[in-house]
Amino acid sequence: MLNYKITIQYDGANYHGWQIQPNGRTIQGELTRALSLLDHRHVTVHGAGRTDAGVHAEGQVASFLLERDCEPSYLRDAINGNLDRDVRVVDVEAVAESFNARFSARLKTYRYQIWNGPVISPFFHRYAYHRRNDLDTREMQRAARLLVGTHDFSAFTVQDSEIEDRVRALKRLDVQREESRIIIIAAADGFLRYMVRTIVGTLIEVGSGRRAAESVASVLESRDRRNAGAKASACGLTLMRVDY
């Protein structure tokens, strides 16, 4: 058996997220189907991050074992030949047996895009959340700085999560404006479910003046999901890269 690592890009608009589900197309499901056809057996695919329905990826990573010894370029083209055009494997490499796309990951970086203006460009409507009212990015950045570090992020995930350890090291949280686009970059050793989208939703409330930037610290300290903002739309979120 040979262990392979692949890097995948996808438009998540037409998928029910990464993880295989009994009803609905998923990215993991499509990759499993394509690889099982190639290896003539069921292939288990491990993903670095379980992106939600509607979330995109420019640098998702997955790993799997194959019985076949394939040249990376041949395997890339063979997988892509069995996928729809909104999912593409862009890189393949053989890796050590110990490598696992999920458990070997050290840092994950997400980007969230907000189109802040009266009319959203048709080239961004699938990949950005449209916010017509002006947002104060300086205040959003001030709030963002209060979340950077190693904290219990219970306030920014689902209330009934079964995960016991909710401590994550948020290495970076930047808010930048590029004309009509507001770009939020979040990098951490790992993310809880809806964590990035809930952080973004809270920052949007800060930017719109609905809450003070300083209040984000008390939200974090409370560990109570009810104190944070509503999670932002999935369409604006993209998994950019995974570092090992």
Q: Provide the annotated active-site residues.
A: 52
CB 83 within 8 A of CB 30: yes
Q: What is the DSSP annotation of 152-221?
A: E-GGGS-TT---S--EEEEEEEEEEEETTEEEEEEEES---TTHHHHHHHHHHHHHTTSS-TTHHHHHHH
Which of 71, 107, 112 has the alpha carbon at shortest distance from 232? 112
Give the alpha-carbon dihedral of 229, 56, 24, 103, to 10 degrees.
-90
What's the token pair of residue 243? 């570092």
Q: Where are the beta strands (DSSP E) in 11-55?
A: 46-47
